[in-house]
Every structure is written in structure tokens, then in C-alpha cells.
Structure 1
């Protein structure tokens, strides 16, 4: 199996090296890394017109976004992966409103448009209220559950037909606990708690979900990705990439009346 490994934290990030080591140990798996040269967190599916690519000890460093990495790998670097793995991201990617912002998830989505199955993997790192997330740097051991889950899914998901229905899997893992984490199939949470405050000419934008998660005060129902991870389980959400449409009679009538004014 040929695996393309990418991320959005950058090619020097601990998380991608953790997954590279974990997947390279699998028999019959050939891993090629094509990842951003610098941190591209939260860029979503941003795409560049042109990017510079340079060799790296574990693959290729792309001076661009995660989406650039997937397109460059398949279109210009002559890679033909059976599977794309994006991660492991430092920080969870939970809830439907986050999916479009995440560079990690966006790499998996881009792979899906190429018709390549993909797995996006992220690590939920609980952060105390008085510590800035930017100061949190998990070591390699913090990714042990993510490594275990990713290895398992890479070994098994293709063979059992998971990707006959799902285009990609969004996987979120807890930090290791006293016992191995269970894996549960989830759906992205609908809970949304963004806020903004104005201070003169500055507007401070805050995602209050993170504070609620660190205190355990979440309203997400059972079966959602956020509840699973907060409770210490590995969350796996099977998702599809194309936007979907539904029939709306009201819109049909609106379109039919266009030009009647």
C-alpha cells in the first residue's frame, strides 16, 4: 500500500513525525511525506497558483497549503497513493463548523475529490484556562493513541469496504490515559459557541468551546465527535466530500417566478 502523508502543522511538526514512524513500521506500507514547509494551521482549502517544492529527510516540503501538497503530490510528483493520511494535528478538529477551517481535514477532502480514500487525524490536547494553546507542545508519547488508531485504520479500513460509502474519515484522538482508548463511530457535533467582543478598534474573536471542553462542561449529545473525545474515546466520523443538495419546492417556485416582476 502506498500512503501519502501530509499535515497542516508543517513538515517539522512532532505529529507528522509520530505518524510517519508508526506507519513506516507496517509491513507492506510505503509512506511518502508531502507536507507544508511551515505551519499552515486553519488555512482550510486555500490553494496557491504556484509553490516551491524541495526534498526533505522524510519526503518533500511544499511552500504552500495542505491542499497544495495533495495536488502537487498527485499532479506533479507522480505519486499514486492508495490512501492519504493527514496529521497528526496538534489540536482537535471537532464539530461540523470546524471542518471547513481545518487544513488537516481539507487535505483529506482534496484527496477525496481525486477519488483517493483519506484519513484526517487530530489530537485533542486538554489545556488549562491559564495556559495558551500556542505554548502547548505535546511530545511524541502524547500521540500514542493517535498512532495506534491510525495504524489500525490504515491496516483495515480499505479491505473491509469503509470507503465504499465514506470519502474520508475524520479521526480525533485523546492523549493516552491509564487504559487503551476505545474507538467509537461518531457524527460531527452541531454545537457552536463562537463569540466576539469589541475593544476600541479591535474585535476579539473567541471559540468558547475549548474552555467548555477543558472543564468538561459540554452540551454535545452522545454519538457526537466532541463528546467521545472529551470522554477519552477515539472518535471516527465517516464523511463525504461533495456538497449535497435537496429538493426545495419553495425555491422551485421562486425560480419559476423570476422575471415576472
Structure 2
């Protein structure tokens, strides 16, 4: 990684989280890193955007009273040096971001998508944390737990740009296991299509449950080979190359439906 490489680093867990500090320390050894991150936890906020946010100086860079998308817009437009950063890195998120359905929900991934609209390549890094019988809020992570995440993110930041990876992908969704001795192998994956959201009513309250996490046993997981969820459950690093903005699927059936609407409404759709 060249010392001249400019990286904008953000997250959705908040600027004081262990994951962003771990990535900052690792990336700063080889690149000029500017941190612009939310002041507090913004998990699952998607690409929510604000019209005006307060900004504060922080020992790592800048903290915003806003979302990850706010941080990318502010970082790329107002808070970085005169040159546009070469790369945006989001993470490391405490908890995995796996499957198609999280792509519009995760603040970590949404930061990467926001960067894509600026034509800046991005890496979103998240860490799968098996919790067993305790709640996720009870999990305490230390810097050493992020060793896998910092190792692979630093490697991709160092090599993906020069290898031309981002000529074919707008961003990389990277999910890693918790560091546990030997480095894990990388698998290039696609997002799982599995979706098992559920809701239950209890009087005046509704409880929403993401049931996909109930089936992460590598011996029983139903996600097929090649998917991000299976790779992570089996202890590998998942790297999914993804595109943004999303393309449209133009097809004749919809054209025919539009023509029938014009006929019914009496619209002359002739174009000069």
C-alpha cells in the first residue's frame, strides 16, 4: 500500500467502537486515513440521510451527529483533503452483514453504496460474532478479536485498486470470522437469497425477529455453496463483489403493459 493512498474510514457502530479503532490503526500504518464516523451507534439505519448535522473534532478525525451515509457525503465533500480519497472503508462492523436483504438495511454497507454514487470504490467489512446463549449486547470484543478483519481489509485496500477489481465492482462486502489463531481463507461469494424475518404480536407491542441466525450451524446451514452466509458459517472470509447503482431490467412485457395503459387512458405516446 502506497503512503500516498488516501482512505476515508467510517462505520455505523460509532466512532468510539473497537472495530473502527482496529481498522484505523492497521490502515494508518500504510495510508493517509481520515475518519468521519457517527458519534453513536447507527446500526441498521440503511442509507438514511440528514439535511444538517453537527460535526466535532475527535482524536481519530471527525464525529458527526448523523448516519454513515451522512459521514460519506460530508467526508467526500467537506472534510477530506483537497484530493478525493482513493477508497472508502466502512467498518469493522461488530456483527455480520450477510445476504441480499441486508444490503439496503446495513449502515455499514450503505456507506459503501453512498461512496459508489461518488464514483469512489469502497470496502465494507463486518465480523460474524457467534453469541450462543447470550444476547449480542452482552458480547465484549477486544482489538485482538478484529485481527482477521484488519488483515484482510488492509490486504484488499493494498491490492484491489491496482488489480483492477473495482473496474468490475463498485464495492466489496467483506465478512470475516472472529480471529482465532490461523488466518482464514478467502472465498469469493454471492449474497445469500435466504430471508426469514418474522414478527409476533404481544398486546400493544410487535417483536421482530431475524430467524436466519437460528441456523448458522455449519453442519446444518441451508444456504447453498458459494453464498456469503455459508462461507462465514464454515469459517472462511466472504468477499462479495457488488454493484451500485442498481441496474434496471427493461423487458417487453412491461412495455406492452405501458402501451395498454396509454390505450386505456387515451394517451397519444407518439414521439418525434
Q: TM-score range by the shorter chain?
A: over 0.9
- For residues 45-104 of structure 1, the C-alpha deviation after alignment (integer angstroms, 9 at most, x for no partner) is 000010111110010001100000000011122442100000000000000001110000
1:229 lines up with 2:243 in the alignment: no
What is the match of residue 192 of structure 1?
195
> CA contact under 8 A between 1:127 and 1:214: conserved in structure 2?
no
Shift of 1:258: 1.0
Secondary structure class of the residue paired with 2:209: strand
Consecutive unaligned residues in structure 2, runs of 5 or more: 265-272
Which position in structure 2 is the counterpart of 1:68?
70
**Distance in 1, Cα, partners of 2:212 & 2:80:** 41
- 1:207-222 matched pairs, under 5 angstroms: 207-213=210-216, 217-222=220-225
Cross-structure match for 1:182: 185
Matched, 1:106 2:110: yes
Mapped partners of 1:259, 1:239: distance in 2: 37
Q: What displacement does 1:217 show?
A: 3.2
Q: For structure 1, which runs of at least 5 residues remain unmatched after alignment?
A: none
Cα offsets for 1:13-34 (capped at 9, x unmatched): 00000000111112xx111100
Q: Displacement of 1:249 after TM fit?
A: 1.8
Pick from 21, 33, 36 the counterpart of residue 34 of structure 1. 36
> Size of the alignment, in residue pairs?
258
Is the CA contact 2:175–2:239 (under 8 Å) kept in the aligned structure 1? yes
Measured in 1, the distance between the counterparts of 2:78 and 2:245 equals 24
1:17 corresponds in structure 2 to 21
Q: What residue is the counterpart of 2:205 in the other structure?
A: 202
Helix, strand or coil for the counterpart of 2:261? coil
Q: Which of 233, 240, 245 lines up with 2:243 in the alignment?
A: 240
TM-score by length of 2: 0.92
Q: 1:121: Cα distance to partner?
A: 0.2
1:126 touches 1:214 (CA, 8 Å); kept in 2? Answer: no
User: 1:177, CA displacement in angstroms?
Assistant: 2.5
Shift of residue 245 of structure 1?
1.2
SS at 1:15 equivalent: helix
1:167 aligns with 2:170: yes
TM normalised by structure 1 equals 0.96
- Structure 1 residue 259: deviation in Å? 4.0
Greater Rg over alpha carbons, structure? 2
